Structure 1
Amino acid sequence: MPAVGLVCYRHIDCAALYGNEKEIGTVLKNLFNEGVVKHEDLWITSKLWCDMQAPEDVPVAIDETLKDLQLDCLDMYLIHWPVKLKKGSVGFKPEVEDLDKVDMPSTWKAMEAVYDSGKTRAIGVSNFSTTKLVDLLEVARVPPAVNQVECHPGYSPLGSPGLTFIKSNVLTDPIVTMVAEKLGKTPAQVCLRWGLQMGHCVLPKSTTEARVKENLDVFDWSIPEDLFAKFSEIEQERLPKGTAFVHEMLGHYKTIEELWDGEV
């Protein structure tokens, strides 16, 4: 990520799965050393990957993330998915034999322990259904501070067009492009502005400095009410469904409906 992104975007959303925490750590260290920004001016999130959900692995995972990011503590640490994989499973498409039994109460207790240790200022979850969130609240001593979820009109929130497993047309959706044309903005800017007007914390990603700057130009204008209402007409679809985490015989979740508790 270009330095401009870290200077202007105050929420840095990381995860062990993303495979870039060492690079982000190097950039953060340089920015801190140069006095460009302080950690307290940022909000840095990371996520526990599914193969490190065993209670004894959670502190190991956050220590590795802190080492890579060159930080003493995180601002937020999330359970990436309500899915458990056998240790050493790599990537978002694990082998079927890597699927393991979920024990969320035990994993959450370990998350509470790293919170108590001061290694993260808050803990939360990601990709949890309402049902799974309610179940977690029943056993949590420290309630999750956030459930980071997909939110349309764009996932990530621009449709993640660079990801081969995401089949998204968010940036070419007729309503998005119509609004963008009327306002003289790009489809990406319109999607980001929609999220802001919805009151969401949007987390865009780009590896192109020009687009990073372009994505920041969303604060001195708004989408008029009549055009904003048009977004409700966009057909909703969950893009990262997590199909690789489901197996009718070997998986903890036998169907996609079970993984999402019907919220598909």
Structure 2
Amino acid sequence: MHTTIPQLGLGTFRLQGQQAIDAVATGLALGYRHVDTAQIYGNEAEVGQALAASGVARGDVFVTTKIWTENLAASRLRASLEESLARLRTDYVDLTLIHWPSPGGAVPVAESMEALLAAREAGLTRAVGVSNFPIARLADAIAAVGAQNIATNQVELHPFLQNRALDAFMADAGIHLTAYMPLAYGKVLDDATIRRIAGAHRATPAQVALAWALAKGHAVIPSSTRRANLDSNLGARDLILSGRDIAAIDALDRGERLVSPDFAPTWD
């Protein structure tokens, strides 16, 4: 079951309270139709409030949430997703991801994936997938439920961390990649190569970094609290980079991983 994930979404990591409500409300007003949240972000209720107040039909917005590590056991996963739905004020989400592989392998990948599929069959989510899964754990997920049942693997990816081995493995398996932190916490905005390309296209550095990821076929979920940036980021969909531009950005890869908590899996 393949799900079409809108290529440019609105990330809500680190957005809290009124800031989260305002960012989602602004994003929806500007035309975003893909909103990404997670149980651990502590903002599902705020995202749900903004969605409910937006006037945009529920069926027109692609909503993703993620199951936190303490909820990965089959005995807990469905109940935790139902709690997320209540906070989000919706009967279903479009995509539910395992946020991180179970620390230390405490809960087998197969157990969580099978519980996710059961939640999908029950209508709680339209599609399922994973996040922060290296090749070995993704292979476990594929063995459990089949690649056709894994809508995406959401991972950190930006010009300074291009995850090429994982990207190639996913392409071979037919699994879509969603890039989080595509602007590397804003570091890409100061890169000389990206600024040069942006100048040549009369674009912003952020648009260039996002357009580069989009050109690779990835979905991107940048976040911002500023209306001007939210609006500008949408312009990345219309920016066509040349092969030379893409090659220049490809050359920026330096394996600079910005998110690697102490419970992270062994990265590729």
TM range, normalised to the smaller chain? 0.7 to 0.9
**2:155 counterpart of 1:149:** yes
> How high is the TM-score relative to the length of structure 1?
0.78
Partner letter of residue 25 of structure 1?
G
Partner letter of residue 206 of structure 2?
A
Which of 21, 26, 33 is the equivalent residue of 1:4?
26
The separation in 2 between residues aligned to 1:118 and 1:197, in whole angstroms, is: 33
The structure-2 alpha-carbon separation of the partners of 1:2 and 1:126, relative to structure 1 and needing over 3 Å to count, comes to closer
| 1:124 CA drift (Å) | 0.7
- On the 8 A contact 1:76/1:122 being kept in 2, the answer is yes
Q: Deviations over 1:158-212 (max 9, x none)?
A: 1124xxxxxxx32222211221122222211111111222222111110111111
For the residue of structure 2 that corresponds to 1:57, the secondary structure is helix
The structure-2 alpha-carbon separation of the partners of 1:15 and 1:225, relative to structure 1 and needing over 3 Å to count, comes to same
For the residue of structure 1 that corresponds to 2:49, the secondary structure is helix
Greater Cα shift, 146-155 or 115-124:
146-155
| 1:123 CA drift (Å) | 0.7
The separation in 2 between residues aligned to 1:147 and 1:220, in whole angstroms, is: 25
Which of 185, 190, 195 is the equivalent residue of 2:203?
185
For the residue of structure 1 that corresponds to 2:53, the secondary structure is helix
1:12-161 to structure 2, matched below 5 A, reads: 12-31=35-54, 34=55, 37-84=56-103, 101-140=106-145, 143-153=149-159, 155-161=180-186
The separation in 2 between residues aligned to 1:129 and 1:17, in whole angstroms, is: 20
Give me the CA root mean square deviation: 2.0
Corresponding residue number in structure 2 for 1:204: 222
**Which of the pair has the greater relative contact order for Cα pairs under 8 Å at 6+ separation?**
2
> How high is the TM-score relative to the length of structure 2?
0.77
If each structure's helix is expressed as a fraction of its own residues, which one has the higher value?
2
Q: Deviations over 1:75-134 (max 9, x none)?
A: 0000011124xxxxxxxxxxxxxx672322212221122111100011111111122212
Report how many aligned residue pairs link the two structures.
225
Task: Give the share of equivalent positions with the same residue, in percent.
Answer: 36
Corresponding residue number in structure 2 for 1:244: 262
The structure with the larger Rg is 1
Greater Cα shift, 170-179 or 237-246:
237-246
The separation in 1 between residues aligned to 2:253 and 2:238, in whole angstroms, is: 28
- On the 8 A contact 2:132/2:153 being kept in 1, the answer is yes
Unaligned runs of 5+ in 2: 1-22, 161-179
The separation in 1 between residues aligned to 2:191 and 2:37, in whole angstroms, is: 28
Unaligned runs of 5+ in 1: 85-98, 162-168, 247-255
**2:191 counterpart of 1:173:** yes
